[in-house]
Structure 1
């Protein structure tokens, strides 16, 4: 069933230990001219100056080290499968052409990681594991589930060989992937003879081994478990145990070796088309597809011919014996794999019957099977766990699948099967997928907090550089002076910059940090910290034509930021105005005449706004087209009768806008309010002087006042003052009086003649003067009248 493969051992380039950043010159000693080239090229790629290469007398590279160095270890692999583990040569490169090298980071190798090998035990003293074997476990006894025979297990030593071979692939110094990992054997198979080794073990023993790992694992160290084994049918108890194990560490399992080209044997699926043989636990169970921490590994390496004389036929060809189908997660080399073996090379190594007298710490053997493919993946997991020790089992298996080489495997045609296995081939990273610093955080958003604060938020970078982001730092830099920073612990994507200078512009960037270092900065965003202003002073309004001119004073505190805008808003109607620049005045237009308004002013800066108290009530008006004018001022007994012209405003006045007329006496007292055009002012004293003003009134305005002539209350009122020459007129047409006393006329000058009640104008001259007196008028004085004489 199993044929051997090979791998050739060669010198290992030992890189220098990690050194602190320095400008000293170091001699780096390596083995072989090619190794000199490799190390020198790497130094140069890391910006380390290579001063000289000395390859004749001694192999070394002299380099100026100005930073910490991370190098690759390069193990030479023979092109002959008989001498070396060809699988190492394949899994460290993406292309199918082998380069006889196994590259891995000198900082990797699985140091500090435990690899649990649940198998037939381990030859702990073998040279492949010197100094790297932890305390393991062996079940005390195994009861054969078919015969009932009890096998006692005296120690964790490997007396079948399978466990040592598997461990050597996962973590052997020469033949293994994770060359610095610690191997912890968990022996669940009895041995000691070929017959016993071929019998297998029980589900009880299997479960006991898993339970021991769960109970005794180190919580302080990352770990991976390899299960290069399988069952002929499902076990609910074992499924539960595997699920529990996969919750705390990655679990790598062999897909199984039941595949062939002519039947559906070996097709593994958790679907309803599964048969007894296809539902092997733990490689493929009803629950397996839901366990993210489990990887099922199929084998490459081909294998032509029959089982008695198989022939290796291709590194990247799917092995015909490998189980296949949807439950497979990944391929790894599995045919002709050379690894550690617990007995010497010069005996019948495959026969456990000869083991007792032939144990060796240097034995090797080639074997084939998915049992050999699985530990390649377990070793790769150990390398990744050293780099990402806190990664979850599901996250770790996802990384392995993400790193895998796609479409590298030539899948062999199978008869009558369903879905093919995923075409992913294991890839162990060298420098090409060494963790780097993260890319820049995305979509940085700045908002103001308190007066001297800026709140910063962002999105995670596109790439974490291959290592989990541990934190973020936001830096605010002014044009001059020191910057300010704030930090957050991942996965928090925000922080608050404090202690900033209000009114100073800051350029803000964000960086992400992982175990490798701090990544590139985000695109800079700028913001000036500050607070909203205080309220402006209470505004005052001056009415105008359907408008109000509003003035105010600036806020006592601008919040550290320039006021960018003032806005005046009316109540009611919400009409607004804003001044130009920093002016503290603007005019609200489009108001309704006669409506009472109040006004408030809002001051705004980049941080916010504040609003003043409201103004006193202001009423806008319409302009006057006509103002009133007196057309008659008639004194009478103890009164004066007034009459004036109508006033009018421009534009369409709203209903109720015009309120009437207001008459005041000479002392400014209101003596008449009316909507008409006449008013009689009574209770006056005869012979007293009187004058009046009149103004039109609206809801918010008064017109210009009109003033009357001064009159004597109750006295003579002249009716006519112009006569043609030689003309005659009744005296009653010249003047009249409201007095009841006798009226006496006398011509004083100018040539006018009075005969009876008739006045005759002279034939020449320009005017004449008349005197009129009233008897019994008391203090009422005589009045002198002037009559203008004109041409006929």
Structure 2
């Protein structure tokens, strides 16, 4: 198969006039995703049949257009190019009468430098392309074939293929191969027995309709091809390396196809067949970047790649020359250029292409080349020998898969350069052709050069970074997966900051560690490790980042402020953060280990859930990426419960050399633990404690009669004291009421109603209520509820004159 302008070669010989020059299916290439939507919407508004819309491989709309619609769309802004869709075909006409062997002779040839075959294919079982995806863009795949057991990934098929010449639409039901070509190509690239990369995963991308010889011979369209590439770009695994094989072709330039190839080659190497238009007598099959498309039947996308500066694409010509009549050629040597092969400076490399045995989707005992017999004869063990550059191309794709296992991060351009660098030079006997330009480069694929000859090591694995001293990073790693076939002699670790020079350290194998010194604390470094052997320095490890520095100094000693079952703790920042930002502060209580951490860089937080009345100390730990440091402990702090009621004096009664006090009960909010409430504390006017009690009364004695006295009372808990209540000032030993109730009509001595320690003259007077005073006796009235009296005491000695209003309740 051959793709020109953006693809390269063909897997089989195709008839000179297989492609139509014009069609009513056109490829409208636009600028950007939005332009695709605009053009598609415009077409739909005009009842134009849209075949496909693409935005990955190429921004394009494929549609069936009338001449008027075609003229209209060419004039619209954002349209880069409009071209007719074309047929892409796959067709086999080479029949070889001389069998090479029961196995694929091409495998025997590509693993050695000389042309004398040893009937062996040398390969490392661990290096057969494991972990690599091989995309086969072709006629599909017999996924259950014994050549691919356990190594077929989820593929894709273009649901509908529109023939660009006839307009007929073919419905593709699955990626299953109903033409055979795709299975054969995949078997060469990655078959278990006949393939190069025996451990690679095959992913079929079916773009050709099939089911009959007529349909298989007819081919597919550029639209279907770009849909297949679009699917690869959208669904490839970015975690796995991959290679694409394209064994197909068309006869003229295609801007859409050019763009699709360019985008695919940007993410994976692309291997294509050079084409099968060569012969001995004319210049047919000559491909170069300057070739006029009217001179040849096939063009190579490699030529387009050359003109566009695209790397990562290899065009493969075929060896296994043919002798005799064109209608019945015979095999004519392993290292002779196949005369059917396209040739010229756009070819990159040769690989075996004639009489190649590989997997086939139908049994060996039927007319295997006729897709009409496929439906009733599918087999998982069928094989067939075919010839063409379509067979040469997958040899190189398989070699690329093996190489990608060893160098999974290699760029497409770097990968193809490795293949060319390892090729055997001047091994191919080129066909002498008169009247053509430069010959094909004489390079023959050499696979053992990828596996068996020493190369640089792969990247060291599992790099681990730890901080050492303030300006140091300790680096350790595991040995690479592969030493490249030569003993590793040493390793180099490189630390690179965002700006400024890097720092390196080295170790001699087998030591797997070294220390980076002289770094700037607080500066982030990206650290990579490489391994070196006799061939050179290998690929770089995955970068790891670390900022050197030390643990911080201790924070300042914290201080605590008590609250409701909580303590608010404050502190100062460490004098030295170790060169690294403090990432966290943690306050921890003793006892109970309760903690809190501030938001951001604040230097305060509140420890909650503490036990009221328990004595706590607190310490603060500052943490950065290098470690932690803890402060000294705080002074003792006792969390408390808030007061619901505070005490208040309800009676302050002077007596002989004493004062009797009584107050209301205090209470805290919440459930106080046992023993939390400790009682009441009474102080005199000088602030001296004169009474401590758990009750609500206290008698303050040893006072001096005629002196004035006042007091305060406060409730106390294990860690708190309520608001102070103050009494009124009283006269010690002064006049005071003794009785406050008597029966109606009853009589009582006035000395039982009020008394004083003063020697002054006492005078009584009834004020209201009906009580009568006769001499030293008080008589209550027969009715009423109370009566008021006034007692006056004249000044005497130290006692001043005194007056007291007495209220007597009646009952």
- Taking a change above 3 Å as real, the CA distance of residues 222 and 354 of structure 1, as seen in their structure-2 partners, is same
- Aligned counterpart, 1:687: 706
SS at the partner of 1:76?
coil
- 756-765 or 612-621: bigger deviation: 756-765
Contact 2:2 2:247 survives alignment (8 Å): no
| Superposed displacement of residue 433, structure 1 | 3.5
Deviations 1:497-552 (A, max 9, x none): 53899999999999844899999999999999999999999999999999999999
How many pairs are equivalent?
A: 792
- 107-116 or 477-486: bigger deviation: 477-486
Contact 1:343 1:363 survives alignment (8 Å): yes
The 2-side partners of 1:770 and 1:190 are apart by 126
Match of 1:398 among 417, 424, 429: 417
| Superposed displacement of residue 495, structure 1 | 11
- Taking a change above 3 Å as real, the CA distance of residues 767 and 520 of structure 1, as seen in their structure-2 partners, is same
| Superposed displacement of residue 284, structure 1 | 3.4
Contact 1:687 1:712 survives alignment (8 Å): yes
Give the TM-score normalised by structure 1. Answer: 0.49
Contact 1:639 1:681 survives alignment (8 Å): yes
Deviations 1:481-509 (A, max 9, x none): 99998369999999985389999999999
- Taking a change above 3 Å as real, the CA distance of residues 261 and 700 of structure 1, as seen in their structure-2 partners, is farther
Query: Quick one: higher RCO (CA 8 Å, sep 6+), 1 or 2?
Result: 2
The 1-side partners of 2:650 and 2:34 are apart by 126
Contact 1:11 1:75 survives alignment (8 Å): no
- Is it true that 1:95 corresponds to 2:95 in the alignment? no
- Taking a change above 3 Å as real, the CA distance of residues 77 and 634 of structure 1, as seen in their structure-2 partners, is same
Contact 2:490 2:508 survives alignment (8 Å): yes
| Superposed displacement of residue 204, structure 1 | 0.2
- Taking a change above 3 Å as real, the CA distance of residues 50 and 319 of structure 1, as seen in their structure-2 partners, is closer
Contact 1:8 1:77 survives alignment (8 Å): no
The 1-side partners of 2:375 and 2:774 are apart by 180
- Taking a change above 3 Å as real, the CA distance of residues 127 and 563 of structure 1, as seen in their structure-2 partners, is closer
SS at the partner of 1:523?
coil
Contact 1:454 1:498 survives alignment (8 Å): yes
- Taking a change above 3 Å as real, the CA distance of residues 388 and 354 of structure 1, as seen in their structure-2 partners, is same
- 137-146 or 745-754: bigger deviation: 745-754
Contact 1:628 1:645 survives alignment (8 Å): yes
| Superposed displacement of residue 252, structure 1 | 0.3
SS at the partner of 2:305?
coil
- 649-658 or 34-43: bigger deviation: 649-658
- 599-608 or 245-254: bigger deviation: 599-608
Deviations 1:586-641 (A, max 9, x none): 99999999999999999999999999999999999999999999999999999999
| Superposed displacement of residue 141, structure 1 | 1.3
| Superposed displacement of residue 744, structure 1 | 142
- 513-522 or 763-772: bigger deviation: 763-772
Give RMSD over aligned pairs: 25.0
- 38-47 or 73-82: bigger deviation: 38-47
The 1-side partners of 2:476 and 2:21 are apart by 34
Contact 1:300 1:331 survives alignment (8 Å): yes
Contact 2:460 2:531 survives alignment (8 Å): yes
- Taking a change above 3 Å as real, the CA distance of residues 748 and 668 of structure 1, as seen in their structure-2 partners, is same
- Taking a change above 3 Å as real, the CA distance of residues 521 and 574 of structure 1, as seen in their structure-2 partners, is same
- Taking a change above 3 Å as real, the CA distance of residues 177 and 133 of structure 1, as seen in their structure-2 partners, is same
The 1-side partners of 2:514 and 2:188 are apart by 47
The 1-side partners of 2:483 and 2:41 are apart by 26
Deviations 1:431-487 (A, max 9, x none): 873555569999999999999999999999999958999994379999999999836
Contact 2:87 2:221 survives alignment (8 Å): no
Deviations 1:712-732 (A, max 9, x none): 999999999999999999999
- Aligned counterpart, 1:110: 129
SS at the partner of 1:557?
coil
In the TM superposition, what are the counterparts of 1:22-171 in structure 2 within 5 Å?
Answer: 81-171=100-190
SS at the partner of 1:102?
coil
- 548-557 or 505-514: bigger deviation: 548-557
- 27-36 or 288-297: bigger deviation: 27-36
Contact 1:267 1:278 survives alignment (8 Å): no
The 1-side partners of 2:642 and 2:55 are apart by 106
SS at the partner of 1:75?
coil
- Taking a change above 3 Å as real, the CA distance of residues 400 and 56 of structure 1, as seen in their structure-2 partners, is closer
SS at the partner of 1:74?
coil
Deviations 1:675-719 (A, max 9, x none): 999999999999999999999999999999999999999999999
- 89-98 or 543-552: bigger deviation: 543-552
| Superposed displacement of residue 275, structure 1 | 3.7
SS at the partner of 1:242?
helix
| Superposed displacement of residue 206, structure 1 | 0.4
- Taking a change above 3 Å as real, the CA distance of residues 494 and 574 of structure 1, as seen in their structure-2 partners, is same
| Superposed displacement of residue 576, structure 1 | 70
- Taking a change above 3 Å as real, the CA distance of residues 235 and 287 of structure 1, as seen in their structure-2 partners, is farther
The 2-side partners of 1:687 and 1:153 are apart by 121
Which blocks of at least 5 consecutive residues in structure 1 are unaligned? none
The 2-side partners of 1:61 and 1:148 are apart by 16
| Superposed displacement of residue 307, structure 1 | 3.3
- 528-537 or 115-124: bigger deviation: 528-537
- Taking a change above 3 Å as real, the CA distance of residues 137 and 592 of structure 1, as seen in their structure-2 partners, is closer
- Aligned counterpart, 2:460: 441
Contact 1:233 1:276 survives alignment (8 Å): no
- Taking a change above 3 Å as real, the CA distance of residues 332 and 542 of structure 1, as seen in their structure-2 partners, is closer
Contact 2:96 2:355 survives alignment (8 Å): no
Which blocks of at least 5 consecutive residues in structure 2 are unaligned? 67-85
Contact 2:6 2:259 survives alignment (8 Å): no
- 325-334 or 141-150: bigger deviation: 141-150
- Taking a change above 3 Å as real, the CA distance of residues 386 and 19 of structure 1, as seen in their structure-2 partners, is farther
Deviations 1:549-608 (A, max 9, x none): 999999999999999999999999999999999999999999999999999999999999
Bigger radius of gyration among the two: 1
Give the TM-score normalised by structure 2. Answer: 0.48
- 725-734 or 589-598: bigger deviation: 725-734
| Superposed displacement of residue 292, structure 1 | 1.1
